Structure 1
Amino acid sequence: MKSFDTDQNPSAVEFGDVFDDDGREKRTGTLMTASAHIITAVIGSGVLSLAWAIAQLGWVAGPVILMIFAIINYYTSTMLADCYRSPGATRNYTYMDVVRAYLGGRKVQLCGLAQYASLIGVTIGFTITASISLVAIGKANCYHDKGHGAKCSSSNYPFMAAFGLVQIILSQIPNFHKLSFLSIIAAVMSFCYAFIGIGLAIATVTSGKVGKTELTGTVVGVDVTASEKVWRSFQAVGDIAFSYAYSIVLVEIQDTLRSSPPENIVMKKASLAGVSTTTVLYILCGCIGYAAFGNNAPGDFLTDFGFYEPYWLIDFANACIALHLIAAYQVFAQPIFQFVEMKCNKKWPESKFITSEHSINIPLLGKCGINLFRLVWRTVYVVGITVVAMMFPFFNAILGFIGAVSFWPLTVYFPVEMHIAQKKLTKYSPRWIGLKLLVSLCLIVSLLAATGSIVGLISSVKAYKPFQNLD
């Protein structure tokens, strides 16, 4: 860490205005920007699929599980926020840095494997989901013109390519600190499509044309078989658990915050705001959606056409989903970009291709800094992710498995273990036992959800037909 004597060096005051205590560019993040990042990371189009999850679990278990995992995710996020600075007050820029500071050893590599596999998986999943939402716009117009029973098919590959082109441009945003405007836009979009889904579900309920609901959800022998009930229940619990998880980018979000007030205090408030907001939306979407559709709730209100009219509102909602995913992609991709770029900078510090910044004038934007390595590497990454998404459009099933595997270490295990190390909790003390019990219970949830995801993945692979249009 650099230190500066302002009495002997007047320019140090100016330095402090431009740079932080670690010599990096002054952080300007606030409670609002951190909350926007969290909402962007947590709320995805999956909020519209929670009616399906509630349908598998029923009126009692569904909302209770939603609340339990909201509390767990907030609780562990506060532990992780407290670990942003090491005991010597040194900043930790990434999740791996935090684990290295408090736990060390092989756990650092395990953390990196879980985190970056999840981040890569999420960017692939976003590419697929955004294309599905864009396809749904065309299908909504088709159903409106030709009737709800019409065969409206469309290819999602051109939309994947267009999504990739947009990401190539946005990926040149140099770092996480410059993403605030994107996250704010994404947060607004998430509220738009969530409230449209809620509004349409309320309209369905008030019309009286509602599905049959049960206290325990889907009925064995009527809606599902006994084995389907079990596996779908596991998958629903997993979907709910992972729908709150933002630990994979929490440290990177916290590293955008200004140092006063203390980053951990602001991050805890942002976590509370983010989790509270998402919980309200989740309960509204899940419960009102279940009331509207009953045990036959679709996987997604909008892209699976639980609603057909008004078609223009369906179009607008799906456009909001696509815009949200365009911004959210960057929130999850930036940690990958920065990880590779920091490694390359350390390994080849003399390479001008890697380290040199070139200033160019761009119409309407003015002067912008361009780094050739950043331009090439990030473009290659986006192209590669887009190609994988095109080859495996059922990847969302794989993403469920990745989420199941990474939820436990990143959201529960590492935050708890670092909290125990930080607070020096006595082994077998009541608090130590309680935290270990929490870790064990969440491990069971992850294993069950992973098993359910594998069963769903097998079904997706069997039905997979490459390069076919979406009907």
Structure 2
Amino acid sequence: MRTQAPNYDSYAGTSTNTFDETLASQKEIDDWLPVTSSRNAKWYYSTFHNVTTIVGAGVLSFPYGMAQLGWGPGVTVLVLSWIITLYTLWQMVEMHEMVPGRRFDRYHELGQYAFGEKLGLFIVVPQQLLVEVGVSIVYMVTGGLSLQKFHRTVCPGCDEIKVSYFIMIFASAQFVLSHLPNFNAISGVSLAAAIMSLSYCTIAWAACLKHGIVDNVDYKYRSDLSNAGNVLNFFNALGTVAFGFAGHNVVLEIQATIPSTPENPSKGPMWRGVIVAYIIVAVCYFPVALIGYWVFGNQVGDENILIELKTPEWLIAMANMFVVIHLIGSYQIFAMAVFDMIETVLVRKLRFRPTKFLRFVVRNVYVAYTMFIAITFPFFNGLLGFFGGFAFAPTTYFLPCIIWLTIRNPKRFSLSWWTNWICISLGVSLMIVAPIGGLRAIITEAKTYHFYS
């Protein structure tokens, strides 16, 4: 599944024609696959690709998560998550070309180098797929819910339409855009999505300020029927925050699109783009989480703060449409990495011809699958907590640190050694507790849910 230079020793004794045909075949495949087909991206492509992937609709659930965490733990978790994920993202950027003359264009290729061919695939690929497919499903749900909210706002007297139909409408855009060939081809979509994410986050906290602090605001922990329920809600909120930092799963694929030479390696422009992106992430995340919680306290009644806000109607409607446009682009970024995995297996392992028809079938099937799962299980809050803890925590919070320790082998008890082990400890703890809370939230919502209602 990995892309690398051919082993010349293996061709010893073969004819020149056979060798040339093999090289030509490999180049044809590399020029067709989404990740390696184009390497002329600019540094600012990294900025809006990373903003699009990191600033997801999960930010709109941060005030709800703060209500379950409280001021102290909530602010601590947000700040630590921002710092830790920026650090692990720097590690990923540094490790992209840590071997002279070779680029780790995909997350699993880096894992294979660190843990071995088979073990690396076994460790990285299931987690990465779970994240990328999970995001696709959650974004289908969120896109449908945001379209439903837009419809209710602009047409309050209209007949109610099931969220399933809005998910299908959202998916129809993905059926079209999924046939763009590679990352650079969706750069315009990604730029629009990044602008939309900054826009609806600004609208969310500005609308909260205009709303003003609710009567009898209370900043105590959001109460449940039992202490156990409060603890599980706390765990779920941790997963919700973890879901907000998901760009690591496609960062190597994004960096692979940037040109690189020994004199000007790709990590320079990539890191420049990441820094700008993370500043934008902070501008989006902290105001929404802190102002939203400050205004509503533990009375936040909905996981999506835009659904909680009712006025001004035109502004809330606009914000929900901005969410939809952003999710359309963000879905494509994560889906493109999945397309690359599937298409690599089909053409390299199963020997399918790299044709437009193959791409047409693969991508339509994937979009249809994520749409079907989203329609069947539209549990927004529970999905955030479950996927955030079970899948996002490993690939974002501590797997880069484990790879760094394995490859770089820093001196025992040095600053680098301690930093990585602290990140690993926090990440593993998050991976254990957050899915428990998320699963409980899914079960709670499922009690009153009727399929395809």
TM score, norm. by length of structure 2: 0.86
- The one-letter code matched in structure 2 to 1:126 is Y
Residue 442 of structure 1, CA deviation? 1.7
Cα pair 1:86 1:101 within 8 Å, conserved: no
Matched with 2:81 is 69
- The one-letter code matched in structure 1 to 2:432 is L
Q: Tell me, which stretches of 5 or more residues in structure 2 are unaligned? A: 7-26
Is 1:106 the counterpart of 2:124 in the alignment?
no
Tell me the distance in 2 between the aligned counterparts of 1:321 and 1:373.
31
Matched with 1:389 is 374
Matched with 2:250 is 249
Tell me the distance in 2 between the aligned counterparts of 1:430 and 1:154.
56
Q: Which aligned pairs between 1:18-167 and structure 2 lie closer than 5 A? A: 25-104=37-116, 105-143=118-156, 153-167=160-174
Q: Which aligned pairs between 1:69-468 and structure 2 lie closer than 5 A? A: 69-104=81-116, 105-143=118-156, 153-205=160-212, 209-210=214-215, 212-214=217-219, 217-218=220-221, 225-259=226-260, 261-304=264-307, 306-349=308-351, 351=352, 354-356=353-355, 371-394=356-379, 397-427=382-412, 429=414, 431-468=416-453
- The one-letter code matched in structure 2 to 1:355 is P
Cα pair 1:394 1:464 within 8 Å, conserved: no
Shift in CA distance, 464/43, structure 1 to aligned 2, threshold 3 Å:
same
SS where residue 163 of structure 1 aligns? helix
Aligned residues: 420
- The one-letter code matched in structure 2 to 1:195 is T
Q: Identity percentage over the alignment?
A: 28
Cα pair 2:241 2:388 within 8 Å, conserved: no
Tell me the distance in 2 between the aligned counterparts of 1:209 and 1:119.
38
Tell me the distance in 1 between the aligned counterparts of 2:290 and 2:284.
10
Tell me the distance in 1 between the aligned counterparts of 2:384 and 2:69.
22
Tell me the distance in 1 between the aligned counterparts of 2:242 and 2:387.
13
SS where residue 70 of structure 2 aligns? helix
- The one-letter code matched in structure 1 to 2:149 is A
Tell me the distance in 2 between the aligned counterparts of 1:62 and 1:403.
16
Tell me the distance in 1 between the aligned counterparts of 2:296 and 2:423.
34
- The one-letter code matched in structure 1 to 2:294 is A
1:178-234 C-alpha deviation (Å, 9 max, x unpaired) = 2211110001111111111111111122xx5455133xx3265xx764233222222
Residue 431 of structure 1, CA deviation? 3.6
TM score, norm. by length of structure 1: 0.83
- The one-letter code matched in structure 2 to 1:251 is L
Shift in CA distance, 63/395, structure 1 to aligned 2, threshold 3 Å:
closer
Residue 300 of structure 1, CA deviation? 4.1
SS where residue 347 of structure 2 aligns? helix
Tell me the distance in 1 between the aligned counterparts of 2:42 and 2:408.
27
Matched with 2:16 is none
Residue 267 of structure 1, CA deviation? 2.4
Residue 40 of structure 1, CA deviation? 0.5
Tell me the distance in 2 between the aligned counterparts of 1:211 and 1:335.
47
Cα pair 1:183 1:327 within 8 Å, conserved: yes
1:408-466 C-alpha deviation (Å, 9 max, x unpaired) = 32113321122123323244556424422321222112211111112112112222211
Matched with 1:12 is none
Residue 290 of structure 1, CA deviation? 1.2
1:135-183 C-alpha deviation (Å, 9 max, x unpaired) = 111222354x59xxxxx74212222222222111111111122221111
- The one-letter code matched in structure 1 to 2:181 is P
Residue 303 of structure 1, CA deviation? 4.9
Shift in CA distance, 431/161, structure 1 to aligned 2, threshold 3 Å:
closer
SS where residue 463 of structure 1 aligns? coil
SS where residue 91 of structure 1 aligns? coil
Tell me the distance in 2 between the aligned counterparts of 1:76 and 1:45.
22
Shift in CA distance, 416/319, structure 1 to aligned 2, threshold 3 Å:
same
Residue 25 of structure 1, CA deviation? 4.7
- The one-letter code matched in structure 1 to 2:165 is P
Tell me the distance in 1 between the aligned counterparts of 2:415 and 2:345.
42
Shift in CA distance, 26/193, structure 1 to aligned 2, threshold 3 Å:
closer
Q: Tell me, which stretches of 5 or more residues in structure 1 are unaligned? A: 3-18, 147-151, 357-370
